[in-house]
Amino acid sequence: MKDRLSKLSILVVNYKYDLRDDNDPIEAGKNEEVAAVFRNFPGLGIKFGIANQDDENEYGGVYIFEDDASLEAFLASPILKEWGEHPDVSEVTYKKYNTFPDFTKNTIKPGYISGDFINDLEPVAQLV
């Protein structure tokens, strides 16, 4: 895991979204065609959608790439540029990060990530 962690590149994107009743970005995020763009982008392992809609209508994503080359290929693609040109989007910013693999590995709660990351993200069923 350490070697894989040392190669990860992380991109954090933030933007403002002019939220109205007819343009909910959460609903737009459920669009299979949009999801497939990210799911099929080479080297992109996962994109977390983020929102701070209560205070400032700020949204974004945390993207985990397999390596720097994949992150740079994403930045060179038209995806962010086209999103930034959307009429309801403004103030698009991004920052690139790398991981501290030893620290990251040592801070993962035992049993939190089992190797099946999708199932690990599912809510735990409440016992009645």
* pLDDT, tens digit (0-9, with 9 covering 90-100), for 31-77: 788 889 999 999 998 999 898 867 678 999 999 999 999 999 999 99
Query: Average pLDDT in the 17-30 region?
Result: 72
pLDDT of residue 122: 57
Helices and strands, counts by H and E, the chain: 7, 4
Query: Average pLDDT in the 2-24 region?
Result: 82
Ramachandran angles phi, psi of 40, nearest 5°: -100, 5
Mean pLDDT, the chain, whole residue set: 82
pLDDT tops 50 at residue 128: no
Enumerate domains of the chain plus CATH numbers. Answer: 2-121 (3.30.70.100)
